[in-house]
């Protein structure tokens, strides 16, 4: 387990793509269990809390609180403070402009564990915004540096796909061409990583910047 930051109250770790943040499936590896085992080995027996999850195919930063009181305070603070979350997404094709904003309305379908683009005012519709800058362009690919303004279910994957540049390795929201290209290039998981978070510390109030510079 790769630890990105740790103090007496919180823990930030790197989640590998393909591993669930937390699962109820028997014998399936998950990050929550790894963190529990790590803290248990250090003598901690308090209930830990997950502060923001990542989809199973996505890699990057996941935050944990080390006890129930910190979990409650941290969750409330994160909801109020609106932390800054940054992602790197490798997409098929890419936007025409080098930077821009995507704004859509998304609705989650719990039965299929997916989200769809819908119209404002529809039942369950939530306004979804992200900002992007093109970090690289090469052949049929582009690397987007994304700042997530709202945190919706599968937001980056769906919004990029809807805009015409789906994420590589994304079988759920990818286009026929992007899925075929991913297969040809042996890209087996969603090319999305949460690489930076900026948020207030739940105890000290200090502005924390956590980065995951894995390439």
Catalytic residues: 55
Collapsing DSSP to helix, strand or coil, 202 comes out as: coil
Could you give the CA distance from residue 81 to residue 93 in angstroms, rounded to a whole number?
34
Candidates 13, 1, 2; CA nearest to 66 is 13
Bridge partners, residue 88, by sequence? 145, 193
Please give the backbone phi and psi of residue 27, each rounded to the nearest 5 degrees, phi first: 70, 5
Counting runs of H as helices and runs of E as strands, what totals does the chain give? Answer: 4, 11
Q: Which two tokens stand for residue 133?
A: 């800058």
């Amino acid at each position: 387990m790769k630890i990105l930051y740790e103090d007496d109250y919180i823990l930030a770790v790197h989640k590998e793509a393909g591993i669930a943040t937390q699962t109820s499936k028997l014998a399936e590896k998950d990050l929550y269990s790894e963190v529990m085992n790590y803290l248990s080995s250090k003598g901690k027996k308090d209930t830990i809390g997950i502060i923001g999850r990542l989809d199973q195919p996505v890699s990057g930063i996941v935050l944990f609180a080390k006890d129930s009181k910190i979990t409650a305070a941290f969750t409330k603070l994160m909801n109020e403070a609106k932390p800054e979350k940054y992602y790197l997404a490798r997409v098929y094709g890419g936007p025409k402009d080098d930077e821009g904003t995507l704004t859509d309305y998304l609705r989650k379908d719990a039965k299929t564990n997916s989200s769809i683009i819908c119209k404002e005012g529809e039942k369950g519709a939530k306004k979804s915004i992200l900002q992007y800058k093109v970090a690289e362009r090469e052949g049929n690919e582009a690397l987007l540096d994304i700042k997530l303004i709202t945190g919706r279910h599968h937001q980056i994957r769906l919004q990029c796909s809807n805009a015409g540049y789906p994420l590589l390795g994304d079988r759920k929201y990818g286009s026929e061409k992007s899925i075929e290209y991913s297969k040809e290039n042996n890209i087996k998981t969603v090319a999305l990583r949460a690489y930076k978070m900026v948020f207030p510390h739940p105890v000290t109030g200090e502005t924390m910047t956590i980065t995951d510079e894995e390439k």
